[in-house]
C-alpha cells in the first residue's frame, strides 16, 4: 500500500504515519529477501498453471494434485493447491454426472409384504377401512367415497 502511495508522489514520511506503520518497519519489510516458502509458492503456482493448461483447463485441485504427485513427483498438500488456484482465479470443470439408472424392481421388492394392501391392492385397503368403520358406533358409520 505504501509502495502504491509513493508511486503516486506521496512521500514515505507522510504515508507511514497515515497507515500506522513505522518508517523503519516499512524499510525493513521492503529490503527483506523473499522467504523460501514464498519462493516455493511462486514456483508451485507456475507448475499448477502448467498442469491446468495441459489438461485443457479441465483439471481442478484434486486432479492437479494427483498430477503433481504421481506425474511430477512433487509432494504438496491439497489445501495449498486450492488456495493457489483460487488466488490465480483458476477453476476446473465440474464433474460430469451421468444420469442415474433406475433398476427394474419386481413387485415383491417394490412393496413390503407386511403392508395390508401389498397383496390385493386398493381393494384390500378399502376392505380394511370399511371393517374399521363397522367397528365404530352406529352414529359415526359414514363412509366417505
Q: Which pTM does this prediction carry?
A: 0.53
In a domain, 94, yes or no: no
Q: What is the pLDDT of residues 34-90, one digit of tens each?
A: 899 999 999 999 999 999 999 998 999 999 999 999 999 989 999 999 999 999 999
Q: Is residue 96 part of a domain?
A: no
- The CA distance from 16 to 10, in Å, is 10
Q: Let me know whether 25 and 44 are in one domain.
A: no
Q: How many domains does the chain have?
A: 3
Cell numbers describing residue 19: 497507515
101 domain-assigned: no
Residue 22 region, left (φ>0) first, then alpha (ψ -120 to 50), else beta? beta
84-112 residue pLDDT tens: 999 999 998 887 777 777 665 555 555 55
CA 22 to chain centroid: 42
Residues 120 and 83 in one domain: no
Q: If 0-12 CB within 10 Å is exposed, 13-18 middle and 19+ buried, where does residue 135 land?
A: exposed
Per the model's pLDDT, the better-predicted residue between 22 and 115 turns out to be: 22
Amino acid at each position: 500500500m505504501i509502495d502504491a502511495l509513493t508511486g503516486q508522489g506521496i512521500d514515505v514520511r507522510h504515508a507511514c504515519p497515515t497507515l500506522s506503520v513505522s518508517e523503519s518497519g516499512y524499510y525493513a519489510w521492503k529490503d527483506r529477501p523473499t522467504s523460501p516458502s514464498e519462493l516455493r509458492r511462486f514456483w508451485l503456482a507456475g507448475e499448477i498453471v502448467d498442469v491446468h493448461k495441459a489438461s485443457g483447463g479441465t483439471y481442478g485441485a484434486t486432479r492437479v494434485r494427483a498430477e503433481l504427485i504421481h506425474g511430477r513427483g512433487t509432494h504438496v498438500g491439497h489445501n495449498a493447491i486450492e488456495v493457489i488456484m483460487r488466488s490465480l482465479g483458476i477453476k476446473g470443470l465440474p464433474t460430469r454426472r451421468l444420469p442415474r439408472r433406475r433398476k427394474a424392481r419386481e413387485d415383491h421388492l417394490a412393496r413390503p409384504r407386511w403392508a395390508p394392501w401389498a397383496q390385493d391392492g386398493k381393494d384390500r385397503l378399502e376392505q380394511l377401512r370399511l371393517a374399521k368403520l363397522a367397528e365404530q358406533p352406529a352414529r359415526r358409520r359414514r363412509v366417505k367415497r
